Structure 1
Amino acid sequence: MDVLLRQVLIIYLCKEVQVNFVHGTWKVIDSMSDVYTNSSVLSSHQDVTCIECAARTLMLDGEGYSCNRGDQMCMIYSACHIKDRLTPGDWEPIAGWLHFCTKIKLATEFGEGWLDLGIQLSRRKSIRFQVKATRGVHIGLNSGNNTDSPGYWVILGGWNGTKSCLRDGWSQCYSNYIGTVLSGEQYRSFWVTWNEGRVRVGTGETPGNGTFMDRVFPNVYTVRHALIRTDVRGDWVIHL
């Protein structure tokens, strides 16, 4: 099940599983050693289904969760560590545990070049993110994991923060938007969708709402990777 469908299913089932949240006791755990590194754990719970674990994670605004299908144990993390190029949004299953991320946080610095987010987008048509930066936010939606691969580029707050646009690789700017869309003081929410060469960008949490750039490109690429960089320091939250 791809990430989008899973999230829709989680939201749809929230009302069905909420009655089960009262069974057992949720407890706060300071930290534990997961499969990669030390992570803060918000809560743990026994005798739950994995779908309940996922729904509870969204309700607690957790960044990741682990579910063991064997003893139905759920742990919700306040930090989510993923390895590059796994299937969308999940950790490797180890010893019966399935590890999932709902969002990841990272920072980009000036001069660092492009960063591959390490998530596969071939089954997806959209991505949501929040970013805090004064100017020069770049997102590459590429067929490969580098900028030599064909793809679409989104530029937010370029030209010293005054202009945003869409590009087909190194081509000229299209669907120019003149105005300030970024902030160095607070996170701004954006979404990007792509489908058969049509790329749209908007503000907010819901793809399709708040569109401010829209372009149908003659070249249709299969988007598999998301690459990011900033002209200054940028703080990101990527929703998976």
Structure 2
Amino acid sequence: MDVLLRQVLIIYLCKEVQVNFVHGTWKVIDSMSGVYTNSSVVSSHQDVTCIECAARTLMLDGEGYSCNRGDQMCMIYSTCHIKNRLTPGDWEPIAGWLHFCTKMKLTTELKEGLLDLGIQLTQRKSIRFQVKATIGVNIGLSSGNNTDSPGYFVILEGWNMTTSCLGVVEFANESQCYSEYIGRVLSGEQYRSFWLTWNEGRVRVGTGETVGNGTIMDHVFPNVYTVRHALIGTYVRGEWVIYL
């Protein structure tokens, strides 16, 4: 019974991670002396599949992990050094080690413009993140990798420091807000958790770590855009954790 419960727990915890296995955030390198030279190993296991390695990483709040499918080795890291800007097909098929980042950390500055995270979203329908900023958090779900491409946008506490907006950016940067939320959702002192989902023109925004719970904005747009890129920015300095 204990073995069965353990297997069920691993499958449950890995539902989101399994999706990432397919969609291109893996990178295979030659040895542990490359990307992970300065990473601290939180935990190491033998006879562990990549799926179980991912589950253990989530349970230990690791930022990255490596597994070897042949030897079934698993190593979990407190720091992830795979480059921030992941691109589709970012593979180096050497030696059988698979390296994965569970999250990326970055900072946006005032008037820096929107930053393309470099995550390919074509096969995804949601994204989770944490942010620490006082006002004006911007997230673009774009059909291209720049602000000239049409798509959807979210502004958290962008107007009057209390009003958040869910809208659409059309061609020539014309934009319109279709759903609003009035209330404080940001903090400059601690990270706040958010999620975004999109599916056939319906875009939702919510607070918390569970996608689908805590919805604050929701709209079905007449124009359905294929979301390929995530762009982020802040009116002031912002600190981010993006979950991959």
- TM-score range (shorter-chain normalised) is 0.7 to 0.9
State whether residues 47 and 71 of structure 1, in contact with CA within 8 Å, keep that contact through their aligned partners in structure 2: yes
User: Quick one: distance in 2 between partners of 1:154 and 1:132?
Assistant: 16
TM-score by length of structure 1 reads 0.82
User: Number of residue pairs matched?
Assistant: 215
Name the CA distance, whole Å, in 1 between partners of 2:233 and 2:94: 32
Query: Which residue of structure 1 aligns with residue 19 of structure 2?
Result: none
The 3 A distance-change label for structure 1 pair 133 and 219 is same
Q: Which residue does 2:38 correspond to in 1?
A: 38
Counterpart position of 2:87: 86
Structure 1 position 179, deviation (Å) = 1.5
Does the 8 Å CA contact 1:144/1:150 hold for their aligned counterparts? yes
Q: Which residue is 2:27 aligned to?
A: none
Measure, in 1, the Cα distance between the counterparts of 2:233 and 2:134: 13
- Within 2, Cα distance between the matches of 1:62 and 1:172? 39
Corresponding residue for 1:221? 225
User: SS of the residue aligned with 1:177?
Assistant: strand
Question: Contact 1:203–1:211 at 8 Å: present in 2 too?
Answer: yes
Whole-angstrom CA distance in 1 between matches of 2:113 and 2:140? 12
- Closer, same or farther in 2 for the Cα pair 1:140/1:93, shift >3 Å? farther
* Structure 1 segments unaligned to the other structure (5+ residues): 1-7, 15-31
1:87 and 1:76 mapped to 2: Cα distance? 24
What is the CA distance between 1:92 and its match in structure 2? 4.9
- Give distance in 2, aligned partners of 1:185 and 1:52: 35
Name the SS for the 1:172 alignment partner.
strand
Contact preservation (8 Å) 1:128, 1:205: yes
Residue of structure 1 equivalent to 2:216:
212
| Pair 1:70-2:41 in alignment | no
Shift in Å, 1:165: 0.3
Partner residue in 1 for 2:134: 134
Residues 143 and 150, structure 1, Cα contact 8 Å, conserved in 2: yes
Q: Which residue of 1 aligns with 2:184?
A: 180
Contact 1:81 1:104 in 2 (8 A): no
Partner of 1:198: 202
Q: Which letter does structure 2 place at the counterpart of 1:113?
A: G
User: Aligned equivalents of 1:104 and 1:91: distance in 2?
Assistant: 18
Q: Is the 8 A contact 2:116 2:230 kept in 1?
A: yes
The answer to whether the 8 A contact 2:36-2:80 is kept is: no
The change in CA–CA distance for 1:151 and 1:13 in structure 2 (over 3 A counts) is: closer
Distance in 2 of aligned mates of 1:189 and 1:129: 6
Q: Secondary structure at the match of 1:112?
A: coil
CA distance in 1, matches of 2:144, 2:207: 26
Distance 1:205 1:226 in 2: 18
Separation in 2 of the partners of 1:13 and 1:203?
20
Give me the CA root mean square deviation.
2.2
Kept after mapping to 2: 8 A contact 1:139/1:155 = yes
User: What corresponds to 2:47 in structure 1?
Assistant: 47
Q: Mind listing any 5+ residue stretches in structure 2 that lack a counterpart? A: 1-7, 15-31
Counterpart position of 1:232: 236
Q: Are residue 143 (structure 1) and residue 147 (structure 2) matched? A: no
Q: Retained in 2: the 8 A contact 1:133–1:184?
A: yes
**Structure-1 residue corresponding to 2:26:** none
Please give the per-residue CA displacement for 1:188-230, whole angstroms capped at 9, x wherever unaligned. 1111111111111011111221111111111100001101001
